Structure 1
Amino acid sequence: MLEKPVNEAPLADVTPPRLEIRNLHRSFEGRAVVDDVSLRVMPGQVTCLLGPSGCGKSTTLRMIAGVEMQDSGQIFVDGKLICDTVFRVPPERREIGLMFQDFALFPHLSVADNVAYGLKGSKADKRARVEELLVRVDLLRFIDGYPHQLSGGEQQRVALARALAPKPRIMLMDEPFSGLDNRLRDGIRDETLAILKEEDTAVLLVTHEPDEAMRMADEIALMRDGKIVQQGAPYNVYTRPIDRASVAFFSDANMLTATVEGALAMTPFGRFLAPGVPDGTAVDIVFRPQHLRIDFDRAGQGPVPTPVDGTPARAVVERARFMGNESLVEFRLDHDGSIMKATVPAVFLPAKGKAMWLTIRRDRCFVFPSEGGA
Structure 2
Amino acid sequence: MTAAVRLEIQSLSCQFGGRDVVSGLSLQVAAGQVMCLLGPSGCGKSTSLRMIAGVERPSAGRIVIDGQTVFGAGINQPPEARGVGLMFQDFALFPHLTVAGNVGFGLQGGRLDKQRRVDELLEKVNLSGFQAKQPHQLSGGEAQRVALARALAPRPRVMLMDEPFSGLDNRLRDGIRDTTLEVLKAEGAAVLLVTHEPDEAMRMADEIALMRGGRLVQRGAPYNIYNKPTDRAAAAFFSDINVISGTSRGALTQTPFGAFLTPGYADGAKVDIVIRPQHLKIDFDRAGRGPNPTQTEGTAARGVVQRARYLGRESLVEFRMELDGSVLTASVPGVFLPKLGTPLWLMIRRDRCHVFAAS
TM over 0.5: yes
Deviating runs (4+, > 4 A) in structure 1?
A: 13-16, 297-301
Please state whether the residue corresponding to 2:64 is helix, strand or coil: strand
Segments of structure 1 that go 5 or more residues without pairing to the other structure are 1-12
AA in 2 matched with 1:337: G
Out of 10, 18, 25, the residue aligned to residue 13 of structure 2 is 25
Q: 1:350 to 1:108 in 2, by over 3 A?
A: same
Please state whether the residue corresponding to 2:50 is helix, strand or coil: helix
Out of 326, 331, 334, the residue aligned to residue 346 of structure 1 is 334
* Structure with greater Cα Rg: 1
AA in 2 matched with 1:178: S
Report the counterpart of residue 120 of structure 1 in structure 2.
Answer: 108
CA shift digits 1:221-243 (9 cap, x unpaired): 00000011000100000011000
Say if 2:195 is the partner of 1:211.
no
What number of residue pairs does the alignment pair up? 359
Distance in structure 2 (CA, Å) of the matches to 1:139 and 1:248: 39
Report the counterpart of residue 322 of structure 2 in structure 1.
Answer: 334
Say if 2:23 is the partner of 1:35.
yes
AA in 1 matched with 2:43: C
Report the counterpart of residue 86 of structure 1 in structure 2.
Answer: 74
Out of 42, 52, 55, the residue aligned to residue 43 of structure 2 is 55
Distance in structure 2 (CA, Å) of the matches to 1:84 and 1:163: 26
Please state whether the residue corresponding to 2:283 is helix, strand or coil: strand
Report the counterpart of residue 130 of structure 1 in structure 2.
Answer: 118
Matches within 5 A, 1:1-374: 16-84=4-72, 86-296=74-284, 302-371=290-359
Report the counterpart of residue 4 of structure 1 in structure 2.
Answer: none
Q: 1:299 to 1:36 in 2, by over 3 A?
A: closer
- Judge conservation of contact 2:287–2:345 (CA < 8 Å) in 1: no
Query: Deviation of residue 138 (structure 1)?
Result: 1.9
Query: Deviation of residue 147 (structure 1)?
Result: 0.6
Segments of structure 2 that go 5 or more residues without pairing to the other structure are none
Instruction: Report the RMSD for the aligned CA atoms in angstroms.
Output: 1.4
- Judge conservation of contact 2:4–2:31 (CA < 8 Å) in 1: no
Distance in structure 2 (CA, Å) of the matches to 1:298 and 1:225: 45
CA shift digits 1:233-284 (9 cap, x unpaired): 0000001100000110000000011111101011111101011211110001
TM-score of the two chains, using structure 1 as the length reference: 0.93
- Judge conservation of contact 1:296–1:302 (CA < 8 Å) in 2: no
Distance in structure 2 (CA, Å) of the matches to 1:112 and 1:256: 58
CA shift digits 1:193-233 (9 cap, x unpaired): 10111111111000000000001000000000001100010
Distance in structure 2 (CA, Å) of the matches to 1:298 and 1:121: 74
Query: Deviation of residue 123 (structure 1)?
Result: 2.2
Distance in structure 1 (CA, Å) of the matches to 2:46 and 2:117: 30
TM-score of the two chains, using structure 2 as the length reference: 0.97
Query: Deviation of residue 15 (structure 1)?
Result: 5.8
